[in-house]
């Protein structure tokens, strides 16, 4: 009895132990099966994290590359502008030096001027032939009528400038030519009706005073150089005023200026036509005024190179000036032109070893400072006008339309007429629309 009970107990324990052992083995097997799946899940999560990190790094790298590219473009633009401004100054300085050297050996300014404009005309023809600059189409009689007076003034201004450069020092000629703003203001008031502001008039006072002070104390002063430089100011500024009137007329009514199959001239083509016409004017004028002065002992290869280089530098000066004006604002261009005159005066004084007393230095400095003040005052006025025009334009195009009652439904058998808005009528009346 006891033995049978003990056997029953042992079999129960063995059965329980076997079940537990089986469950333990099953649990351990499940752990072994589940372990690789957990590792794979963790690996996938890690891969996603690495992929997200790489995508974030890729975006950051792209942003950095975009910033670097924009910065490099700005650097390139700065290099190009710096090169253009430097070329502009070099061309102008070289023109004055070559021209003065030629006039010292060959004192015939009309012949030199005719050669200079002829070289400029050849340069412009080369640009047209090679399609570097698109040549103008058929030019109407009205355009020729407007261009010939400009060409005459261009010739007169260039000729009187060379007469002054041959008579007095280069620095003194350019000091007198600092009076160009004074002539520009006066002629614009007389011919265009532009009334100068008080700030502009006040900025002209130091220019006039400085030129008077420099003229009184100039060692190389003579009336031929002084009067011819003043005549150059008058001729060039009259040309600029008439050119402005022509460009305004061409922009307002191109059909009237050009005709049905003609086109108005842009600034560079207008200069090219003026240069070609000036050549046709100055070559006969040089023959009449100075005749044939080609003495073999005087005309040397060095002189011919100086005259040709002066004409080439003059053409390059104008072309680079237009290139700069196409890239920067007129404000920057005018400031650069003011600095250019200072550079020409300083370099010419150093190159030709021009002696200047204290009074002449003070007068030149005051005149150039007045030109800077005039440029600043004029640009401030232009900026205010531009802001005012922009404000008015924004107000006109952003104003709300008045609410209108809903139109009645169309009657059957009758087509509905198109609705004409009041804003369309206003645009048409103002000329901004049609």
Least confident span in 31-45, 77-91, 177-191, 241-255: 31-45
Read off the pLDDT of each residue in 300-312 and give the average, rounded to a whole number. 94
Rg (CA), the chain: 41
pLDDT band at 66 (very low <50, low <70, confident <90, very high): confident
Q: How far is CA 245 from the centre of its chain?
A: 21
Q: How far is CA 164 from the centre of its chain?
A: 31
Q: How far is CA 96 from the centre of its chain?
A: 24
DSSP conformational letter for 39: H
- Most confident residue range from 8-12, 154-158, 335-339, 423-427: 154-158
Q: Measure the CA–CA gap between 367 and 217, rounded to whole angstroms.
A: 14
Read off the pLDDT of each residue in 125-149 and give the average, rounded to a whole number. 89
Longest Cα separation, the chain? 161
Residue 431 predicted with pLDDT over 50: no
Q: How far is CA 172 from the centre of its chain?
A: 30
Phi, psi for residue 156 in degrees, rounded to 5: -65, -45
Contact assessment for residue 110 and residue 285, using Cβ atoms and an 8 Å cutoff: yes
Q: Which candidate, 289, 283, 279, places its Cα nearest to that of 314? A: 279
pLDDT one-digit tens code per residue, 355-395: 888 898 899 999 999 988 888 888 888 778 777 766 766 66
Contact assessment for residue 311 and residue 129, using Cβ atoms and an 8 Å cutoff: no
pLDDT band at 10 (very low <50, low <70, confident <90, very high): low
Helix H or strand E encompassing 215: helix 198-216
Provide the pLDDT for residue 255.
Answer: 41
Instruction: Indicate whether this model's pTM tops 0.85.
Output: no
Distances (CA, A) of 55 to 44, 58, 62, 217: 16, 5, 10, 75
Residue 35 predicted with pLDDT over 80: no
Provide the pLDDT for residue 387.
Answer: 75
Task: Tell me the percentage of the chain whose pLDDT exceeds 70.
Answer: 71
Higher pLDDT, 318 or 333: 318
pLDDT band at 7 (very low <50, low <70, confident <90, very high): low
Provide the pLDDT for residue 155.
Answer: 95
């Amino acid at each position: 009895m006891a033995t049978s009970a003990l056997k029953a107990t042992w079999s129960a324990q063995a059965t329980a132990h076997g079940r537990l052992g089986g469950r333990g083995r099953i649990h351990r097997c499940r752990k072994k099966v589940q372990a690789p799946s957990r590792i794979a899940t963790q690996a996938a999560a890690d891969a996603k994290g690495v992929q997200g990190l790489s995508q974030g790094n890729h975006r950051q790298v792209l942003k950095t590359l975009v910033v670097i590219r924009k910065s490099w473009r700005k650097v390139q633009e700065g290099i190009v502008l710096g090169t253009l401004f430097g070329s502009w100054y070099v061309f102008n300085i070289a023109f004055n030096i070559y021209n003065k050297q030629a006039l010292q050996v060959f004192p015939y300014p009309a012949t030199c001027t005719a050669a200079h404009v002829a070289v400029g005309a050849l340069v412009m023809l080369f640009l047209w032939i090679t399609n570097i600059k698109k040549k103008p189409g058929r030019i109407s009689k009205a355009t020729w009528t407007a261009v010939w007076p400009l060409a005459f003034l261009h010739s007169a201004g260039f000729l009187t400038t060379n007469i002054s450069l041959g008579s007095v020092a280069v620095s003194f000629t350019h000091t007198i030519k600092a009076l160009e703003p004074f002539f520009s203001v006066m002629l614009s008031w007389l011919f265009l009706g532009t009334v100068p502001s008080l700030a502009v008039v006040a900025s002209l006072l130091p220019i006039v005073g400085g030129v008077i002070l420099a003229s009184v104390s100039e060692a190389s002063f003579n009336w031929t150089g002084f009067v011819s430089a003043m005549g150059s100011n008058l001729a060039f500024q009259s040309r600029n005023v008439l050119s402005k009137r022509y460009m305004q007329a061409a922009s307002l009514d191109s059909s009237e200026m050009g005709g049905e199959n003609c086109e108005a001239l842009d600034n560079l083509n207008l200069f090219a036509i003026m240069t070609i016409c000036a050549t046709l004017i100055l070559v006969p004028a040089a023959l009449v005024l100075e005749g044939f002065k080609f003495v073999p002992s005087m005309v040397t290869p060095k002189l011919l190179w100086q005259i040709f280089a002066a004409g080439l530098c003059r053409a390059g000066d104008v072309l680079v000036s237009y290139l700069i004006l196409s890239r920067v604002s007129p404000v920057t261009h005018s400031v650069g032109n003011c600095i250019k005159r200072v550079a020409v005066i300083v370099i010419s004084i150093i190159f030709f070893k021009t002696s200047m007393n204290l009074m002449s230095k003070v007068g030149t400095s005051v005149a150039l400072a007045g030109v800077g003040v005039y440029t600043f005052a004029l640009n401030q006025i232009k900026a205010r006008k531009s802001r005012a025009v922009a404000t008015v334009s924004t107000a006109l195009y952003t104003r709300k339309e008045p609410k209108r009652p809903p139109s009645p439904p169309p009657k059957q058998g009758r087509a509905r007429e198109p609705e004409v808005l009041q804003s369309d009528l206003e645009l048409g009346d103002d000329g901004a629309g049609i």
